[in-house]
Amino acid sequence: MSRKSKLYNTRSIGFRFNLQCFVRDSNNIASSNKTFYCRCFFAIAIIVIYLQYQYILDTVWTKNMPKDLIRTQVNRYYTYQYQRVMSYERFKAMKLALKNVDRSEMPRYQKNTPICFLNKSTLLGRIRVETSYISPRKVERLRLGVMSGGFYAPSHCRAKHKVAILVPFRNRTTNLSKFLRHMHPFLQKQLLQYRIFVIEQIGREKFNKGALYNIAFLETQRFGTWNCLVFQDVDLLPQDGRILYSCLRKPAHMCPALDCWQYQFSAIKSFGGVTSMTPEMYLQVNGYSNAYWNWGAEDDDMFVRIKASKLGVWRYNMTIARFHCLPHPKNEYNPKRYILLGNAKRRYKTDGLKSLQYKLIAIIKRKLFTHILVDVNPFNYTV
């Protein structure tokens, strides 16, 4: 065999070897591409299912959600999808099935069940306020006789008053534990059908108490119909059993005497601390103002709204309506509060419940209260 033929044979062998390697590599590449596409499709399917699941949780809020799942959702609220900015008009336009998702918990009485009659003479006078520290876990272990979400209704009679207790909250866990321990036994003695709503503002924005009250007014409608709303600070506890948590014909200021003020009431034009109104009255005054950030003057603004609406204010007797102030760090004052208060009467019809915009993060039924997490500044405006 000549040298040229030998060279040709070696080149042909090398060509066949390279061709086989190319075919093998192309097959590997094709299989790897299939694997890659399958993994991508599988990942996309998981993401779609996850987003749909989050949408169901955020919109319809299941009744018997496991506690571990609830905590996971709350701790990871910033990963929620389909978070829509809510407003008064959008909430009104929601379907009834989405707005009232918890009516199944309402008590079912027999036809002959009588209406509750409260004998006021049986209510105690001065009551002791326990101010010792108690952890949130220990409070949940107490047998306070309430259903999940902090709901209570008398079993032997139909409650005359259906009361929603609205509590704005942020970074006051110690006060909240004391509040729940004291308020549940206190309210049950008055034969009320009630639920405690704790509305918490998330994020690093300045605290907006008025916006939280407006949000709470809307979100309580998911849990039935209430004929009385009580707006209460988490650091105020009643010291007399004769303080009735029910609504009158006028908006009521229920805490004119505080022990931290030596039981002397000086702010005649104030309407804060603990107050009560019917839903019709709250709509008539257009709720609280959304313009007050940090501490101060939102209660005085509400007094102006009530007077402008010609409703009047009923104040409880100072010798009976006494409250204990729980200690808490001082809040930062609002430097613009007096400027806003100066034109409160002029803008109360446009600034308030009907101009509210917020983002609902989660609604959680805890053992002793219904926890509502919201973002009061969804567009990150400078405040």
Query: Domain of 183?
Result: 86-108+116-375
Determine which of 201-210, 249-258, 328-337 has the lowest per-residue pLDDT on average.
Answer: 328-337
pLDDT higher than 90, residue 98: no
Which CATH number characterizes residue 187's domain?
3.90.550.10
Q: Do residues 145 and 32 both lie within one domain? A: no
Q: Do residues 357 and 265 both lie within one domain? A: yes
> Does residue 68 form part of some domain?
no
Q: Do residues 47 and 103 both lie within one domain? A: no
Query: Between vectors from CA 178 to CA 264 and to CA 270, what angle results, nearest 5°?
Result: 30
Q: CA-to-CA distance for 336 and 148, rounded, in angstroms?
A: 41
What confidence tens digit (pLDDT) does each residue in 38-83 have?
778 878 888 777 666 655 544 433 333 333 333 334 443 333 333 5
> Does residue 36 form part of some domain?
yes
pLDDT higher than 90, residue 267: no
Burial category of 33 from C-beta neighbours within 10 Å (exposed 0-12, middle 13-18, buried 19 and up): exposed
What confidence tens digit (pLDDT) does each residue in 236-263 have?
999 999 999 999 999 999 999 998 888 8
Tell me the average pLDDT across 329-346: 85
pLDDT winner (highest mean) among 7-16, 28-37, 158-167, 330-339? 158-167
Residue where the block lists tokens 């009431």: 265
What confidence tens digit (pLDDT) does each residue in 274-308 have?
999 999 999 999 999 999 998 878 999 999 999 99
Q: CA-to-CA distance for 128 and 241, rounded, in angstroms?
A: 10
Give the dihedral sign, CA 142/144/148/150.
negative
- Of the candidates 294, 301, 380, 296, the one whose C-alpha atom is nearest the C-alpha of residue 348 is 301
What confidence tens digit (pLDDT) does each residue in 104-115 have?
667 777 888 899
Q: CA neighbours within 13 Å on the CB side: how many for 226? A: 33
Beta bridge partners of 82: none
Give the number of domains in the chain.
2
Tell me the average pLDDT across 165-172: 93
Q: CA-to-CA distance for 69 and 175, rounded, in angstroms?
A: 26
pLDDT higher than 90, residue 94: no
Q: Do residues 192 and 299 both lie within one domain? A: yes
pLDDT of residue 226: 93
> Does residue 338 form part of some domain?
yes
pLDDT of residue 331: 77
- How do 357-365 and 257-258 pair as beta strands? unpaired
Q: Do residues 135 and 239 both lie within one domain? A: yes
> Does residue 383 form part of some domain?
no
